[in-house]
Amino acid sequence: MEHLGPYDRQPFTQLEETFRQAGKDKLADDVYYMRKCREYTENIAIRKYLFSWDCVPGDDDEKLKKFLEDDFDIGWTENAEIRKSDDGKTLSISKDEKRSEIILDAIKKKATLKISDGRTIYLNVKKKHCKLNIYRTWGAWLHSALRKQGSWRALLQTALRKLSAWLLDRFLFLLTGYGVRLNRLLFAVVFILMLGTFIFQFEGAVTLDIQPHSLMSSHASLPGWDAFWVSLNTFLPIEIPSGADWKPSSQIIPVLGIKFTTFATLLDLAGWILVPVGVAGIAGLLKRSK
């Protein structure tokens, strides 16, 4: 998105609104998409970036203090003094008699946070863009989350809610680009319908759903267009006249090892999920300005 040049430093929401007021909806949608991707990275990831070791003391002092306060309830970090040892392997955060340290290991792959109340937490260290960056580990996240929730049960409930939010987020991202990349959903629907068309062309895939059945051999196969209409009719939540005279048989699909009726059920479920999502996307209901 190099064409955004002069506006790069504006907040994403302000930038999006600027483009919409200028009538540049396509650029506004691009900014919205980038903002949602950035929110996902910042809010969902557990092993997230915390601060740069090379920027403390310095530009990342507030990030370090916020991490200590939010994750470990260290409330004395405001106006605390931050120092780095001469060998560059120890950060000390102190205020009056209270003190915490972060110590790098010899190979600079791990760091150990030692808090004055006796707690010890391990952190990850990765070199990126010639800088040493500090990341939260699973253990650090679990320690923080358990402290905030107060019990394992509350933590499990929160984790399940976050998992549900993550699954929904990934679903909307992959299939609709948060409502501004609906071509992805179109490609998915076309692929599913073509797969259905391929499957329903197998011999014995369908039977005639009208009387008398003797008019149709149980081993007959459908031509391409008829198989497509059966696939479409099965996929759509509502029944259409085309393809309605055929129903999937209970025979086994040679290439999948499941029954044609089972495949039709999966196709039907996909339609009940994707069609409403597509309608909501076209109506703009998947796109939120906040």
Q: What is the pLDDT of residue 288?
A: 55
Model-level pTM? 0.58
On the question of pLDDT at 289 being above 80, the answer is: no
Tokens of 169: 């987020």
Task: Return the closest-CA partner of residue 172 out of 67, 277, 15.
Answer: 277
- Phi/psi-derived region of residue 223, left when phi > 0, alpha when psi is between -120 and 50, beta in every other case: beta
Please write the tens of the pLDDT for every residue from 32-48: 777 777 666 555 555 57
**Among 109, 94, 270, 244, residue whose Cα is nearest residue 192:** 270
pLDDT at position 39 is: 64
Which pLDDT belongs to residue 77?
A: 87
pLDDT in tens, 163-189: 788 788 888 888 888 888 889 999 999
Instruction: Check: CB of residue 61 under 8 Å from CB of residue 96.
Output: no
The tens digit of pLDDT for each residue in 17-36 reads: 777 778 877 777 777 777 77
Res 26: pLDDT:
79
Q: What mean pLDDT value characterizes the chain? A: 82
Which residue ranges make up each domain of the chain?
2-43, 49-149, 177-282
155 near 149, Cβ under 8 Å? Answer: yes
243-262 mean pLDDT: 90
Percent of the chain at pLDDT exceeding 70: 86
